[in-house]
Amino acid sequence: MLRTIICLTILLVLSILSAACDTGPSPQELAATYAVETSVAAQGQTETAIALPTDTPTITPSSTPTETSIPTETPTATRTRRPTNTPTITRTPGPFSYFDNFSSQSEGWPSCDGCVWQNGTLVMGPYDPSSFFHVNICMGCGENIYYRVAVDVTFIDGEVDRTFGIIFGENSENAYYLGISPWGAYTVERYDFAGSYWTTVNSAFSGSVVGSYGTNHIEVLVQPSTTSANAEYWIYLNGDLILTIYSRPISESQVGLAMNYHAQVVAFDNWEYVVIEP
């Protein structure tokens, strides 16, 4: 009897469990439902991935680009030279004149000893150590009684206890030399051809001289004196009258570039020569 009751109880429990299982979806139904949901989800992802944008985005620059200048080298300060003139040795109406900016070798200096035309200047030196005095006569200027001569001269290299400048008033008897030293001094000397010696007319350390590597402007006027038999020499340095030589006998004379001794290099520029009519 007890065994029968137990068997009935077990059958009752199994019936209840079987009824509960019949109320939910079967494994086949669950698998089908999962497959449909997976397909829908995959389709949604594909549509999202290939969707085209509705508007083309506009790129707005954050700022207006500006042109950047290329850096340039700072110019090195250089010595300033005076305006130059076109060289010519052709006589023109009125007083004869000869200008030379030394941009190239000209006919005015056909036998210029130790000369090099360089960077728009005429460079003299250095010379042989055994040499003493060097003169290059301006053949394009000729020989005249009265005239004005001017030139710029710059010390380039070498010993500073020597002088450089111009020759003027050179005739068969005498020649005058104006020399400048980088030490800030000048000298005016006269050479006697008969006796072959120099006489110092005047020399001094002067504020009129631009020392060291500076450029000096030399100007000399050989002009009529108060008497027709004589001439006067007016000598200027950088616009300052440094010396006047009176009562010189008139005669035709030459001018040129000059250098005392050898171990120095000097550049000349802006040569001017104009005949003065009495």
Of 137 and 92, the structure prediction assigns the larger pLDDT to: 137
On the question of pLDDT at 18 being above 80, the answer is no
Topology given in CATH for the domain delimited by 99-275: Jelly Rolls (2.60.120)
Of 3 and 13, the structure prediction assigns the larger pLDDT to: 3
Give CA–CA dist 26/40, Å, rounded.
22
Of 261 and 165, the structure prediction assigns the larger pLDDT to: 165
Res 212: pLDDT: 93
Of 233 and 62, the structure prediction assigns the larger pLDDT to: 233
On the question of pLDDT at 30 being above 80, the answer is no
Average pLDDT for 193-215 = 95
Residue 1: exposed, middle, or buried by beta-carbon count in 10 A (0-12, 13-18, 19+)?
exposed
On the question of pLDDT at 227 being above 80, the answer is yes
CB count within 10 Å of CB 165 equals: 25
Average pLDDT for 29-33 = 46
Average pLDDT for 149-178 = 96
DSSP 141-199: T--BSSEEEEEEEEEEEE-SSS-EEEEEEE-SSEEEEEEEETTTEEEEEEEETTTTEEE
Res 31: pLDDT: 44
Lowest mean pLDDT among 1-10, 59-68, 208-217, 268-277: 59-68
Mean pLDDT of the chain: 78
Chain segment 250-271, per-residue pLDDT in tens: 999 999 999 998 889 999 999 9
Chain segment 116-151, per-residue pLDDT in tens: 999 999 999 999 887 889 999 999 999 999 999 999
Residue type, 55: D
Res 95: pLDDT: 87
pLDDT band at 74 (very low <50, low <70, confident <90, very high): very low
Residue type, 30: L
pLDDT band at 72 (very low <50, low <70, confident <90, very high): very low
Domain ranges of the chain: 99-275
> CA–CA distance from 137 to each of 12, 175, 228 (Å)?
149, 12, 27
**What are the structure tokens assigned to 169, written together?**
């008033």
Of 274 and 127, the structure prediction assigns the larger pLDDT to: 274
Give CA–CA dist 246/241, Å, rounded.
14
- pTM of the entire predicted model: 0.66
